[in-house]
């Protein structure tokens, strides 16, 4: 079944393009491999199988409404780029476009101009007169430093320089630090800072317009680092202890809020910068994982999401209301976010009082 899906995707490329894909598999320096070859040539199963199914689903939708988009030489050239970030960026746009078309069939790509522009324009789904929603897509890329660490780890393991034998199998571990690749005092603070920094993408949305940043984490390697648990201010782990949710704190965090990393074994830290919504007028962020699409609205947005867009988000594939932050009443919504902040502060006080 999985192999059939790979062949289905591969059949969409010319023989010349297939040769380029094979070259990419052999030439990509990253230990994680090229994002496109991981979809069409990978022999294993796992996270990539759902990623592949989602890509095919989106392509089916795109080809129904706008078949010229995937045929575009510019799109295919970027998809076949040896630069991992470039190819990942196109896959992120492909999934955002396919998902948006499912809920908003009139979604159209915005032609690029000299000045930076958003990726998609979403008019009212029934064609009624209403301000459109602009969507800017951003695919998170692993740090280049982490790629280098991965490659060194692979070389050392293959040369027998690291690892230990257990039951006839050699085992070695590499801590994942995809946001920086450097050893830092707080990986959580570093991750929150990197995600919050994506707010600069909002600058591509016209002033005074309704703007959404579509944040794509749907790749197999991100599944090891980001989950729907990160949509909460804090969450407990199956191994014990608790951590701060990366996405929630990157969006709704404020200066001075405590951050938790393997708490209570480690002391809480302090967030040194405000979250994305404190620095931009973006209306909302949509986070895309392989089996979840989550909507986070900005409680301080000057131009909030319109009701028609919010309600149609329920038709997005994999939409998860239970992890979303959705405005029903603006005043109560802002209060609910503040209560979540208070929860984080209260946990810090318990930690100090209990002297763990």
Please tell me the predicted confidence (pLDDT) of residue 314.
96
- Sketch the domain layout of the chain as residue ranges: 72-145+184-356
Q: Is the pLDDT of residue 352 over 70?
A: no
Q: What is the pLDDT of residues 191-249, one digit of tens each?
A: 888 899 888 777 789 989 999 999 998 875 677 678 999 999 999 887 777 889 999 99
Which of 143-157, 203-217, 282-296 is predicted with the least confidence, judged by mean pLDDT? 143-157
158 versus 208: which is more confidently predicted?
208
- What is the mean predicted confidence (pLDDT) over 105-120? 89
pLDDT at residue 355, rounded to an integer = 47
| Beta-bridge partner residues of 212 | 135, 284
Residue 117 has pLDDT above 70, yes or no: yes
Average pLDDT of every residue of the chain: 85
- Return the minimum-mean-pLDDT range out of 90-94, 113-117, 123-127, 318-322: 113-117
Taking alpha carbons only, the member of 262, 263, 259 closest to residue 246 is: 259
Q: What is the pTM of this model?
A: 0.88
Separation of alpha carbons 265 and 299, rounded Å: 33
> What is the structure's pLDDT at 198?
86
Gap between the Cα atoms of 346 and 339, Å rounded: 10
pLDDT reading at 119 higher than 90: yes
Look at residue 251 in the predicted model and tell me its pLDDT. Answer: 97
pLDDT in tens, 42-95: 644 555 688 889 999 999 999 999 999 999 999 999 999 988 889 989 999 999
311, 294, 135, 127: which is closest to 209 by C-alpha? 135
């Amino acid at each position: 079944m999985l192999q059939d899906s790979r062949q289905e995707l591969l059949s969409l490329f010319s023989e010349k393009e297939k040769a380029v894909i094979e070259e990419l598999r052999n030439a990509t320096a990253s230990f994680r491999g090229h994002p496109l070859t991981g979809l069409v040539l990978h022999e294993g199963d796992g996270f990539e199988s759902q990623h592949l199914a989602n890509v095919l689903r989106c392509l089916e939708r795109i080809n129904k409404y706008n078949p010229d988009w995937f045929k575009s030489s510019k799109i295919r050239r970027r998809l076949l780029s040896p630069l991992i970030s470039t190819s990942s960026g196109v896959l992120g746009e492909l999934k955002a476009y396919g998902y948006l078309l499912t809920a908003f069939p009139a979604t159209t790509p915005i032609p690029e101009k000299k000045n930076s522009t958003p990726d998609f324009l979403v008019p009212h789904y029934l064609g009624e007169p209403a301000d459109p929603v602009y969507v800017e897509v951003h695919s998170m890329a692993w740090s280049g430093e982490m790629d280098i660490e991965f490659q060194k780890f692979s070389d050392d393991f293959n040369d027998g320089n690291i690892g230990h034998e257990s039951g006839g199998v050699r085992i070695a571990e590499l801590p994942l630090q995809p946001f920086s690749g450097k050893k830092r005092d707080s990986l959580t603070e570093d991750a929150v800072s990197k995600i919050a920094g994506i707010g600069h993408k909002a600058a591509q949305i016209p002033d005074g317009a309704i703007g959404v940043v579509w944040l794509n984490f749907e790749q197999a390697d991100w599944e090891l680092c980001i989950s729907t648990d990160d949509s909460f201010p804090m969450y407990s782990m199956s191994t014990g202890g608790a951590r701060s949710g990366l996405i929630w704190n990157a969006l709704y965090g404020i200066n001075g809020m405590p951050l938790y990393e393997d708490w209570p074994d480690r002391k809480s830290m302090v967030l040194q910068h405000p979250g994305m919504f404190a620095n931009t007028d973006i209306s909302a962020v949509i986070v895309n994982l392989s089996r979840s699409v989550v909507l986070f609205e900005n409680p301080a947005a000057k131009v909030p999401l319109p009701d028609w867009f919010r309600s149609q988000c329920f038709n997005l594939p994999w939409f998860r209301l239970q992890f979303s932050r959705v405005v029903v009443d603006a005043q109560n919504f802002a209060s609910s976010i503040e209560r979540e902040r208070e929860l984080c502060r209260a946990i810090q006080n318990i930690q100090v009082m209990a002297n763990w």
